[in-house]
Chain A
C-alpha cells in the first residue's frame, strides 16, 4: 500500500503540522493570520482563521462570485500590462472567484504584516505553507495563488486545507493545471462534511438557514454542541439538492449530452459556477483515504459521497454533516496510523459494481464502497476519466499534424523567397495574385487554416489538455505560422476589399487563430498584452495608407501612429521577426512610405533601412 506522502508529494509531518495550526487559528479569530515555523524542517506555516458570517461567504446573489480582474492581487507585480495567469489563454476567459474570500485576503494583506513575513520567508529560502480550516482554507488557497502570481521564487509555496469551501470556477482549475501549480494544493474533505459543498447552492435557497448553521459551526469551533437536527436536515437537503443539480448537469455534459432540454432547464435555475481544483483527499470515515486529482471527478465525488443509503438516514447524516467538519485532526491521525490510501487515477476503468471487482481493483473497490459510491456515481467518475483521456487523444492527433504544418510553412517560405526575387515581396504578390504560384500559395494557406481552426475550435470547448497552450513546441510553431501566414490573410482581406464592407482587419477581420496564438507567445514570455503584434504589421500599413488616400493632406492626425509603427518595425527587423522584403521597391509599404512628407522621412528612424 502506498503512503499518503509518496502519493501527494507532501510530507506527512507537514500535513499534520498544517492541520494542527489550521485548527489553532480559529482560537484567535482577532488575528488575521498565524505564523508558525516548524521545529523540524524549514517549513513556515501561514494559517488563516475561518469567518462565520454569511456576508463573508456570499457578497451577492446568487453565488457571490466575481471575475479575477476585479482585484489587483492576481496580476503579476511590476510588469505593467502583463495579463494574469488565471485565465484561459487563447480564449482569454478570466477565472471567477468568490468575492468575499478574495476581499478578505486583500484586507489581510493591506492591514497586516503578512506580505512582509511572506517575503522574508521567501528570501530566507524557507518552504512556505499556507493552510486553513473551513473558510480559512479558502483564504489559504487564494493566498497561495497570489504568491505564485506575484513572486517568481525558486521554491513554490504549498497549500493544505481542511474542509475548505470551494473558491473558484473551472477556469481557475484550468489555469492551475496549465501552469503546473495544481500539485501544490492539497485539500482534505471528510466524507459527510457539508462545508466543502455549501457553495454549490445559491444563497437564495438557504439564506436564513446558512446564518444559523454558520453560527452553529462557529460555536462548535469552540466547544461541542448538540441539537439543531431540524435545521441541519433542512440545510443538508437544500445543499445536496443543489449539489445534485450541479453534478448531474456536469455529468450530462461529460457523457456527451445532446438533448437541448439540458441547457433550457439550466437557464431556469441557478447553477453554481464553483469547481474544485488541486489534489483532493477524501476521508472515507473508517480510516481510509482516497486521493484524486481529476477536477470533474472530484465534483461528482463531493455530491455522491454524501448521498443517503435510505431516507431514514437523513437526520443522522445531516448531524454528521456538521460534526464531520471538526473531525479533521483526529481523522488525520487515525488514517496516518492506518496508512490505507487509494489513488483514483485510472478513472475510466473503475469497477462499476460494489462486489465484483477484479483482483487488482479490490482495494479501489473497497474504498469506493466506503465512500458509498453507487453504480451511477461510478459511471460519472468513469465519464470524467474518459473526458481526460479524450483530451489526451485530441492532443496526440494534433501532434501528428505538426509535420503537415511544418511542410506547409516550408512551402510558403519558399514562395516568400521567390516573390522577393521579383522585387515585390510576397505580401504584394499575393495581394495581386496573378500567377499560378499565388494560387498555390492560397491553397496552402487554406489548408493550414483548416488545421489551426480545428485547434481553435477545440480550445474553445476546452477539449485539449490544459497544458497545451503553454507547450513550448506549439508556441514556437504557432509563432512561425503567424509570422509567415498572417500577412497572406491580411493581403487577401484587402484584395477582396473586406475592410470596406466589414471594417478594419484588426477590429473586424482578424481570425481567432492569430489572436489566440499571439496570446500564447505573450503568455509564454510574460510580455505585455498586445506587444507581439509583428504579424499584423501589414494591417496597420494598409490602414495608414487608406487614411492617406482618403485624407491626402492630413499627416499630423496619424503622425503618432506612423512614428509608433516605424519604431516597432525597426525592432522587428532587428529581431528578425519581420524580414527585409517589406522594403522592396514594389511593396505597398515602400510606396506608402515614400509618399510621406519629406520632412518626416528625413528624420525617420527607419530612414537608414529604407535607403539600404
Chain B
C-alpha cells in the first residue's frame, strides 16, 4: 500500500502551544484569583465571573485531615462516591479500578455540597467555567472539574466547556484514571502549570512514607508563606533545616529517575499524570501532553535544580505566569551557535532552550552533588528523546482519513457477505443465512464467508482501539459515515458471530451469547447508534427490512429454544411457569418485530430456526 502520510516535515510544537496559552488572558486571570484564594479564603474557594466565563479558584491552604499515615493511599473511585463520577468508571469493569488520592477525595467531598449549589447557580449565567487552584487547591480543582464534566455529560447544559488550570499541584490518580479521562476525551480540559523545579507536583512520584513528618513540616511552611503572597521568595527556604530539604529532594529525585527508566508505566497503585503540562522556566515555557514525556520532563528539570529552589519554586507561580505572558510580545532568538536546519530539529533546540535543558555551561549556584557536564549533556539528549516521544503521538485527522481508505478496502468483504445472505435468502433449502452458516460451517463457501467475518472483525476492533487510544478525532464516533458503516456491519455480521458461537458450542462452555459471548465492539456500536444526532422518526415500513434491526435476534431465538426444551422436561411447577412466561414474552417481542417489519425475510424463511421454533411452540401450546 502506498504511504498516505508524509512524516518527514514534522514540527516540534510544544513551545508554540505554550505561546498560545501565554497569549490568552486565562493563565493570568486564573493565577490572580488563586492568589486571592490563598490569602483570603483558606480551606475554601472563591467564585468570580469575568464576561461569560466563571472562575472557581480553590485556595492552596486546605484544612488538614491529620490522618497523614494514609496520605499516599489511593482509593477506588466508584459507586461509593454517590455516583458522582459514574461516566468515568462505567466501561472499565474488566480493567484495573480507577483510584484517586484518598485525602484529596475527602477534601473534595467535604466541599462538594456547597460547590454543587454554587455551580448550579452559575448555569445559564455563563458559557464556560475555569476551575483553578494552586498546590492542593489545584488537585481539588481537578476533582471538581472531573465531577463537573461527568455531571454535564448527563444533561444538556448551556455550559459548553470546562477548563481546569492547576499551579504546582500534587498528582491525583493512577493510570486507570488517566486512561478513562482520555477515553472520555477530557484530556484537553486539564492544564497543569508546573514551574521548573517545584517539588510539590513531583512529590507523589516518590515513596515518601519515611518522610511523612518532614513533608508535613514542608506543607506548613508553604501554607505560612501563602498567607502573604508578596513576600520575596528567594532565600526563604533557609528557614527550613537543610537535612529536611535534602532528604525530600533526593528521595523524590531518586524515585523519579527510577520511573523514567521503566519501559512501561508501572502498574499497581502508582500515581500518573493526565492532561497537558505547561512547564515554566525563566527562558520560556513548553506544553507537553504525553504522560511518559511529562514524567521525564519532571525528572530532567528537577535534576538540574537544588533542594532550596525546589521548595521556593512552589511559591513563584505569579512570576512565572507573568513572564510567560510578557514573553509573547518579544522576538526571542536562538542564542547558541549551530542551529540545525531541519525544521523539526530546530524546533526541538528552541524548546530545549525554553525549558533550559540545553547543553551549556552549568550555572554556578547549582548545588546538585553529582553535577558534571556529562550530566548536562545527558539531560539534553534525554530531553530531545522526550519531545520526540511526545511528537510521535498521532495525527487524528490523518489517521481518520487513512482509516476511511482502509474502510473502502474492507467494504468489499462485507459486500461479499451481503451477497451470501442474498443467495441464502433465494436458496431452495429456505433456511436463511443464519442457519445456513450455522449448519454448513465447514464447507467452502461458508469458510470464505467466515474468513471475511474475521477480517471485518479485525478491522473494527482496530478502529475501536485507535479511538480509545485517542488516535482519532474527538467527534469520530458521531460522524455519520462511521456510525452508519458500523451499524450496517453489526446488523449484517453479528448474526454470523452468533451462529458461530452456538455451532462451536461456546454457549455450553461460557453461557449464552448475549451475556457471555458478545464482543465489546457491538456494544460500542449500539451506543454510537443510540447517541447519533438524528432523532428517531417513526416510519412505517412497507416491506421487510433488508437486515433484522435487532442484531441479537438470533441469540434470543437460541435462548428461547433452550427454554422450550427445558419447559418440556421441567417438573417443578413454579420453574415451569417461569419458563412459560419467558417464552411467551419472547414470542410477543418477535411478533412485534415482525409486525413492524423490522426483521429481514430470512427470519421467516420456512426452515429457519425461528420458524421451526414457532411451530414447536405452537404445538406445545395447543
- CB within 8 Å of B: which residues of A? 204, 237, 240-242, 244-245, 248-249, 251-252, 254-265, 267-269, 304, 307-311, 314, 348, 352-354, 356, 372-377, 379-380, 382-383, 386, 389-390, 393, 397, 433-434, 439, 442-443, 446-447, 449-451, 453-454, 457-458, 461, 495-497, 500-503, 508, 546, 549-550
A-B pairs with beta carbons under 8 Å apart, 15 shown: A244-B19, A252-B13, A255-B11, A259-B188, A261-B187, A267-B160, A308-B331, A373-B331, A374-B331, A376-B16, A376-B332, A447-B412, A497-B545, A500-B540, A501-B541
A393 touches B6 (CB 8 A): yes
Contact between chains at B408 and A264 (CB < 8 Å): no
| A549-B542 contact, Cβ under 8 Å, with A265-B20, A450-B405 | yes
**Which residues 402-427 of B have a CB within 8 angstroms of A?**
404-405, 407-409, 411-412, 415-416, 418-419, 422, 426
Give me the 5 closest cross-chain CB pairs, A-B, nearest first: A450-B408, A260-B188, A255-B11, A245-B23, A307-B331
> Would A446 and B393 count as touching, CB distance under 8 A?
no
Bound Cα distance from A443 to B341, whole angstroms: 48
Q: How far is the CA of A439 from the CA of B346 in the complex (A)?
A: 54
Q: Which B residues, 180 to 227, have Cβ-Cβ distances below 8 Å to chain A?
A: 185, 187-191
Distance (whole angstroms) from the CB of A151 to the closest CB of chain B: 39
Q: Bound state CA distance, A178 and B534, in angstroms?
A: 34
Are A449 and B287 touching (Cβ within 8 A)? no
What secondary structure prevails in chain A residues at the interface with B?
Answer: helix
Interface residues in B323-342 (C-beta closer than 8 Å to A): 325-326, 328-334, 339, 341
Closest to B345 in A: A352
| Interface residue tally on B, bucketed by range | 35 or more
| A389 surroundings in chain B (CB, below 8 A) | 9
- Identify which of B19, B404, B542 contacts A497 (C-beta below 8 A): B542
For residue A496, which residues in chain B have a CB less than 8 angstroms away from its CB? 545-547
Closest chain-B Cβ to A506's Cβ sits at a distance in Å of 15
Q: Is the interface of B mostly helix, strand, loop or mixed?
A: mixed
Q: What is the CA–CA distance of A454 and B398 in the complex, to the nearest angstrom?
A: 11
Q: Are A446 and B412 in contact (CB under 8 A)?
A: yes
- Is B422's CB under 8 angstroms from A433's CB? yes
Interface string of B4-39 (1 = CB under 8 A from A): 001001111101110111011110000000000000
Q: How far is the CA of A147 from the CA of B11 in the complex (A)?
A: 41
A382 nearest CB neighbor, chain B only: B343
**Residue of A whose beta carbon sits closest to that of B334:** A375
B20 near A379 (CB under 8 angstroms)?
Answer: no
B496 within 8 A of A: no
Extra A-B contacts (10), CB below 8 Å, given A308-B330, A348-B343, A434-B426: A252-B13, A257-B17, A260-B189, A375-B339, A382-B11, A442-B415, A450-B405, A454-B404, A497-B545, A500-B539
Residues of B within 8 A of A497 (CB): 541-543, 545-546
Contacts of B549 in A (CB 8 A): 501
Contact A259 B415 (CB under 8 A): no
List, in ascending order, chain A residues with CB within 8 A of B289's CB. Answer: 258-259, 261
**B328 adjacent to A244 (CB under 8 Å):** yes
Q: Report B-chain residues with C-beta under 8 Å of the C-beta of A443.
A: 412, 415-416
Q: For residue B474, which residues in chain A have a CB less than 8 angstroms away from its CB?
A: 260
Partner of A256, one of B2, B13, B332, B539: B13
Q: How far is the CA of A512 from the CA of B113 in the complex (A)?
A: 49
Q: Does B583 contact A (CB under 8 A)?
A: no
Write the residues of chain B forming the contact surface with A, with a CB cutoff of 8 angstroms: 2, 6, 9-13, 15-17, 19-21, 23-26, 51, 53, 128, 130, 160-161, 163, 185, 187-191, 275-276, 287, 289, 325-326, 328-334, 339, 341, 343, 346-347, 350, 393-397, 400-401, 404-405, 407-409, 411-412, 415-416, 418-419, 422, 426, 474, 481, 534, 537, 539-543, 545-547, 549
Given contacts A434-B426, A450-B411, A501-B541, contact A244 B339 (CB under 8 A): no
Q: Give the complex CA separation of A480 and B174 in angstroms.
A: 57
B24 contacts A269, C-beta separation under 8 Å: yes
Measured CB to CB, the nearest residue on chain B to A380 is: B16
Given that A241-B329, A267-B128 are contacting pairs, would A451 and B408 also be in contact in the complex, using a CB cutoff of 8 Å? yes
By the criterion CB–CB under 8 Å, are A252 and B16 in contact? yes
On whether the beta carbons of B411 and A446 are closer than 8 Å, the reply is yes
Partner of A434, one of B9, B393, B422: B422
Question: Are A500 and B542 in contact, CB atoms less than 8 angstroms apart?
Answer: yes
Contact, CB under 8 Å: B11 / A256: yes
CB-nearest residue of chain B relative to A509? B484
B404 to chain A, nearest CB (A): 6
CB of B405 within 8 A of CB of A268, answer no
Given contacts A265-B26, A390-B6, contact A352 B409 (CB under 8 A): no
* A458 in contact with B401 (CB, 8 Å): yes
Whether A261 lies near B333 (C-beta < 8 A) is no
Kindly state the separation between the CA atoms of A496 and B597 in the bound complex, as whole angstroms.
Answer: 12
Q: Which chain B positions have C-beta within 8 A of A257?
A: 13, 16-17
In the assembled complex, the CB of B372 is this many whole angstroms from the nearest CB of chain A, namely 30
A432 to chain B, nearest CB (A): 9
The one of B12, B20, B332, B416 in contact with A245, judged by C-beta atoms closer than 8 angstroms, is B20
Asked if B331 contacts A265 (CB within 8 A), the reply is: no
Q: How far apart sit A450 and B325, CA to CA, in the bound complex (Å)?
A: 46
**B53 surroundings in chain A (CB, below 8 A):** 268
Measured between beta carbons, the chain A residues less than 8 angstroms from B329 are: 237, 240-241, 244, 307-308, 314
Nearest chain A CB to B569 CB, angstrom units: 41
CA distance A451 to B405 in the complex (A): 7
For residue A360, give the distance in angstroms from its CB to the closest CB of chain B: 14
In the assembled complex, the CB of B416 is this many whole angstroms from the nearest CB of chain A, namely 8
Query: Which B residue sits closest to A432, measured CB to CB?
Result: B422
Closest to A306 in B: B329
Out of A249, A255, A268, A374, name the residue touching B332 (CB < 8 Å): A374
Distance, CA A479 to CA B406, complexed state (A): 25
Residue contact B408 to A446, C-beta cutoff 8 Å: yes
A352-B419 in contact given A252-B16, A260-B474, A311-B326 (Cβ < 8 Å): no
Q: Are B415 and A261 in contact (CB under 8 A)?
A: no
- Nearest-Cβ distance from residue A405 to partner chain B, whole angstroms: 13
A442 to B400 CA separation, bound complex (whole angstroms): 24
Distance A309 CA – B327 CA, assembled complex (angstroms)? 11
Q: Which residues of B contact A259 (CB under 8 A)?
A: 17, 188, 276, 287, 289
